[in-house]
């Protein structure tokens, strides 16, 4: 039970972080183009 | 567990606080770095280790420990979404709001709003934000009182007093630098004690693992959802998504977390901090949920009820030395949030009220001393209020909702459009609705699903509607980051 909960939570966190970083990179690139 | 143990725990905390405080002060003397930026913002030089740990533990306090124990008891493993909502918050702060406030080079969030909307909006937000964080401080004070009380037998008021005094020392000697370094030292204690606690509880169970607990929930079909992090559909919509909305939009602009970001060495450090801050904060919930599920499945502790089941189980099952370690871990976790909830409203008062309105020529040393005095007064008031035991979850729900409109006027004002009138109207209507939603029969009169929605939904809805319609209707100014001044900042 503990191991399953640990793995599920860790995977969810890392996926959210990766998606967040990816969205931020795209938005940043777009914003820089707009400002130029 | 009585006097001897609590003495060891307190001695450990005092030693860590004093030794780190002295080291930081001596280093500052050698480098000649004193003043407001050094005290409140660690000289804007927080690096890749101290920054993420401080971010993670600034938003990890009473609710993550006592709240998650209680929520798990009632709802099962889906309570982990309280922690995961803070992961979403840290993502928003590390890739968005935190970097933007660092880019602006400000000391407080209201200071950013002066440039965007003028002094009126800024002072209104400063007053509400400082009051809001102080409200959270009273709950943290209550939390530390409860933790010390349940694990030592002391009464809550005494526990709150001892915790409050420790909390003041946590921050008052050397400010943010001290908070950051103590957080890093305590992070090790927190996780080692939690891992050992879960291990020892497992060893006391039949088969020396959690299989019997799992079997308990699997035996009854109506209890299957208790083991799933996704719970059931209803819980996921109301609890998981509800928490993500409330925590992200309230804390995503709160001075508590933003002041840590303002103290970062640069924007890149904040963005990279996410890889450490998110798991350090989010994984804490795994241990709390495991202990909550275990206590609920054991009849002796289930009978004690949601509020006390886990702490009673821990005191019974763990050897004394580990109980002491766990107490030290819980106290450290709450103190890390406590220290920021007293430092940040004091900083807002010193910078946005004292310096801005009463003493424009105040030196950095004067401002730092006002912050120190503010910390002591705020904590003294919080200790006095904590003795009356306001309900933690209901109070957090009301408090968080105040800052939702501030998040949206900040974000839309940076990237889309700014109008002081629309921003003022948004804040006024949303704040009035928040008060009515808690203290009038309005929700009952509306009834149905809408009548049951928590305050954060109401202020989110009103803020978005007024801001979007208002900004479309008036001319306004372009988003702050679209202006020339801001381009130079970028």
The DSSP code sequence of B249-294 is: HHHTS-HHHHHHHHTBS-HHHHHHHHHHHHHHHHTHHHHHHHHHHH
Measure the CA dihedral B327/B329/B334/B337, to 10°: 170
Contact B172, B371 (CB under 8 A): no
Residues of chain B positioned with their CB less than 8 A from the CB of A7: none
Judged against a pLDDT cut of 90, whether residue B282 lies above it is answered with: yes
B479 touches chain A (CB under 8 A): no
Predicted confidence band of residue B231 (pLDDT cuts 50, 70, 90): confident
| Stated length of chain A | 36
B404/B463 Cα distance (integer angstroms): 8
Q: Does A21 contact B95 at a Cβ distance shorter than 8 Å?
A: yes
B128/B353 Cα distance (integer angstroms): 12
Interface mutation target, options B91, B211, B272, B277, chain A, most CBs of A under 10 Å = B91
Judged against a pLDDT cut of 70, whether residue B487 lies above it is answered with: no
Element (H, E) at B477: strand B477-478
Of B77, B91, B202, Cβ closest to residue A5: B77
Q: What is the pLDDT of residues B4-21, one digit of tens each?
A: 777 888 888 888 888 888
Predicted confidence band of residue B223 (pLDDT cuts 50, 70, 90): confident
B305/B74 Cα distance (integer angstroms): 10
* Structure token digits, residue B86: 């803070």
Residues 6+ apart with CB under 8 A from B214: A1, B227
Structure confidence at residue B427 (pLDDT): 96
Q: Does B490 contact A35 at a Cβ distance shorter than 8 Å?
A: yes
A22 touches chain B (CB under 8 A): no
Q: Report residue B267: phi and psi, to 5°.
A: -65, -35
Residues of chain A positioned with their CB less than 8 A from the CB of B293: 1
Q: Report residue B478: phi and psi, to 5°.
A: -65, 160
Q: Report residue B229: phi and psi, to 5°.
A: -65, -15
Structure confidence at residue B356 (pLDDT): 85
Q: Does B282 contact A9 at a Cβ distance shorter than 8 Å?
A: yes
Predicted confidence band of residue B1 (pLDDT cuts 50, 70, 90): low
Task: Report pTM.
Answer: 0.88
Q: Does A9 contact B278 at a Cβ distance shorter than 8 Å?
A: no
A30 touches chain B (CB under 8 A): no
Predicted confidence band of residue B274 (pLDDT cuts 50, 70, 90): very high
Residues of chain A positioned with their CB less than 8 A from the CB of B88: 16
Q: Does B286 contact A2 at a Cβ distance shorter than 8 Å?
A: yes
Structure confidence at residue B363 (pLDDT): 86
Structure confidence at residue B253 (pLDDT): 93
Judged against a pLDDT cut of 70, whether residue B251 lies above it is answered with: yes
Residues of chain A positioned with their CB less than 8 A from the CB of B275: 17
* Structure token digits, residue B30: 């050698």
Structure confidence at residue B389 (pLDDT): 63
Residues 6+ apart with CB under 8 A from B336: B54, B57, B58, B60, B61, B170, B179, B182, B183, B186
Q: What is the pLDDT of residues B303-344, one digit of tens each?
A: 988 878 888 898 889 888 888 888 888 888 888 888 889 999
* Residues facing residue B478 across a β-bridge: B417
B309/B311 Cα distance (integer angstroms): 6
Judged against a pLDDT cut of 50, whether residue B490 lies above it is answered with: no
- Output DSSP code: residue B107: S
| Average pLDDT for B371-381 | 92
* Structure token digits, residue B169: 């020392």
| Average pLDDT for B280-305 | 92
Contact B262, B41 (CB under 8 A): yes
Q: What is the pLDDT of residues A1-36, one digit of tens each?
A: 888 899 999 999 999 999 999 998 898 888 777 766
Least confident of B97-106, B301-310, B455-464: B301-310
Average pLDDT, chain B: 87
Of B87, B214, B482, Cβ closest to residue A13: B87
Q: Does A9 contact B275 at a Cβ distance shorter than 8 Å?
A: no
Q: What is the pLDDT of residues B163-201, one digit of tens each?
A: 888 888 888 876 788 888 888 888 888 888 888 999 999
Q: CA nearest B292 in A: which residue?
A: A2
């Amino acid at each position: 039970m503990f191991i399953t909960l640990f793995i599920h939570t860790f995977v969810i966190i890392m996926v959210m972080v990766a998606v967040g970083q990816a969205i931020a990179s795209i938005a940043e690139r777009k914003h820089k183009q707009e400002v130029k | 567990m009585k006097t001897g143990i609590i003495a060891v725990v307190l001695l450990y905390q005092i030693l860590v606080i004093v030794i780190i405080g002295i080291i930081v002060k001596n280093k500052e003397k050698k480098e000649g770095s004193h003043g407001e930026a050094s005290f409140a913002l660690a000289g804007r030089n927080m690096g890749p280790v101290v920054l993420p740990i401080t971010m993670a533990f600034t938003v990890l306090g009473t609710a993550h420990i006592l709240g998650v124990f209680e929520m798990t008891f009632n709802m099962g493993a889906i309570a982990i979404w309280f922690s995961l909502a803070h992961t979403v918050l840290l993502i928003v702060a590390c890739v968005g709001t935190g970097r933007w406030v660092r880019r602006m080079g400000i000391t407080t969030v209201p200071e950013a709003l002066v440039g965007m909307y003028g002094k009126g909006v800024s002072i209104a937000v400063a007053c509400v934000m400082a009051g809001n964080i102080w409200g959270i401080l009273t709950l943290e004070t209550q939390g530390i009182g409860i933790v010390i009380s349940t694990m030592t037998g002391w009464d809550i008021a005494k526990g709150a007093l001892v915790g409050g005094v420790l909390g003041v020392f946590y921050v008052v000697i050397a400010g943010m630098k001290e908070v950051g370094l103590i957080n890093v030292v305590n992070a090790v204690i927190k996780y080692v004690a939690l891992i050992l606690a879960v291990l020892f509880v497992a060893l006391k169970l039949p088969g020396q693992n959690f299989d019997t607990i799992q079997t308990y929930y699997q035996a009854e079909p109506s209890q299957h959802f208790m083991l799933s992090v996704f719970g059931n559909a209803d819980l996921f919509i109301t609890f998981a998504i509800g928490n993500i909305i409330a925590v992200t939009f309230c804390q995503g602009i709160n001075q508590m977390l933003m002041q840590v970001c303002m103290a970062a060495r640069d924007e890149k450090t904040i963005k990279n901090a996410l890889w450490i801050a998110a798991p350090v904060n989010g994984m804490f919930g795994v241990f709390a949920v495991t202990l909550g599920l275990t206590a609920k499945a054991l009849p002796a502790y289930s009978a004690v009820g949601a509020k006390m089941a886990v702490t009673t189980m821990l005191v019974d099952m763990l050897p004394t030395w580990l109980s002491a370690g766990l107490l030290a871990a819980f106290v450290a976790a709450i103190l890390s949030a406590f220290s920021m909830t007293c430092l940040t409203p004091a900083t807002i008062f010193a910078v946005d009220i004292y310096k801005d309105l009463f003493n424009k020529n105040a030196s950095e040393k004067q401002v730092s001393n006002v912050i120190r005095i503010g910390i002591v007064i705020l904590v003294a008031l919080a200790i006095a209020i904590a003795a009356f035991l306001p309900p933690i979850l209901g109070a957090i729900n009301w408090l968080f909702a105040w800052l939702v409109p501030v998040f949206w006027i900040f974000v839309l004002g940076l990237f889309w459009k700014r109008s002081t009138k629309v921003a003022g109207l948004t804040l006024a209507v949303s704040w009035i609705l928040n008060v009515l939603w808690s203290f009038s029969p309005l929700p009952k009169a509306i009834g149905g699903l809408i009548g049951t929605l928590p305050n954060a939904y109401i202020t989110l809805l009103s803020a978005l509607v007024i801001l979007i319609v208002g900004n479309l209707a008036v001319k306004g100014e372009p988003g702050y980051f679209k202006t020339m001044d801001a381009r130079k900042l970028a």
